[in-house]
Amino acid sequence: MPEPVLLIFGAGANVGLAIARKFKQEGYKVAAASRTIKDDLKQIADKTIANILTPEEVETIYSEVEKDLGPPSVVVYNAYSLSPVPGTDPFSLSPADFSKDLNVNTTSAYAAASLAANSFSKVGPALPKAFIYTGNMCSHLIMPEGFSMGVGKNAMAYVIQTAAEVYGLKGKGEKGFWYFADQRFEDGASVMSYVDGEAHAEYYWELVNGKAQGPWNNTFVKGKGYKRFEGELERGVRGVGELLAMAEERKGEL
């Protein structure tokens, strides 16, 4: 049986690196794409690609990975782009910056998802197949300072929900299982900048090895796994400063 291949977009020093390390330890070949390739990532990954994640680059990356390592059976999209704006004036964001952020958060992510569905059809039935998009609280909370990222994350939430329904549930996973993953405090509050790389790595490994499509909007708590939170569609409005202060007060719970 061929070795399974993980392709991760956005292999940064926290979540991305931890995921790469976990899957490498579990016997995967690892291909990692990141804006900056650091030595610790080079030591783990079988293939590294420096990029700025345009849709065209995503297609090139897939081609290179398939040629050098084989078709990816697990794809993690952990990349993001954010152009901060004042909380009192989110529409001060220029169309150019809006487009730049949307390109990374949505268009390139969709390109990766589309190519993953095709790649999964080339993978043998014995290997787990999954696409995981690292989400955040913007799917249920208005954060004006992160306006462009919120738009992009919400667009990809629709993409992932569609894929989970069509490919994961109705298609019984032949084209993979699909997840929008989001770490939370135990009561559902956002962890903000206190995202835990190791917690993501362990939970993503659990998702990949599931035998059926789980909840597409996969909110999870460190050490406890999936937890469903009510009222997700009733979006409140919070400023970045308020959210960061709340997370700072509670970081000891993580």
- For 220, how many CA atoms within 13 A lie in the half-sphere containing its CB? 27
> What top-level class would CATH report for the domain 5-253?
alpha beta
- The yes-or-no answer on residue 153 being catalytic is yes
Specify the pTM.
0.92
The reported pLDDT for the residue numbered 237 is 58
Helix (H, G, I), strand (E, B), or coil: what is residue 247?
helix
Whole-number Å distance between alpha carbons of 185 and 2: 38
- pLDDT averaged per 10 residues in sequence order, the chain, 254 residues: 91 95 98 94 96 90 96 98 96 98 97 97 93 92 94 96 94 95 93 94 98 95 90 59 85 85
Q: Of 2, 151, 185, nearest to 81 (Cα)?
A: 151
The reported pLDDT for the residue numbered 236 is 60
Q: Where are the domains of the chain?
A: 5-253
Note whether 31 and 71 are within 8 A (CB). no
The reported pLDDT for the residue numbered 234 is 45
Note whether 144 and 238 are within 8 A (CB). no
Helix (H, G, I), strand (E, B), or coil: what is residue 215?
coil
Which residue in 153, 172, 222, 251 is the catalytic one? 153
Count of other CB atoms within 10 angstroms of residue 230: 7
The reported pLDDT for the residue numbered 194 is 93
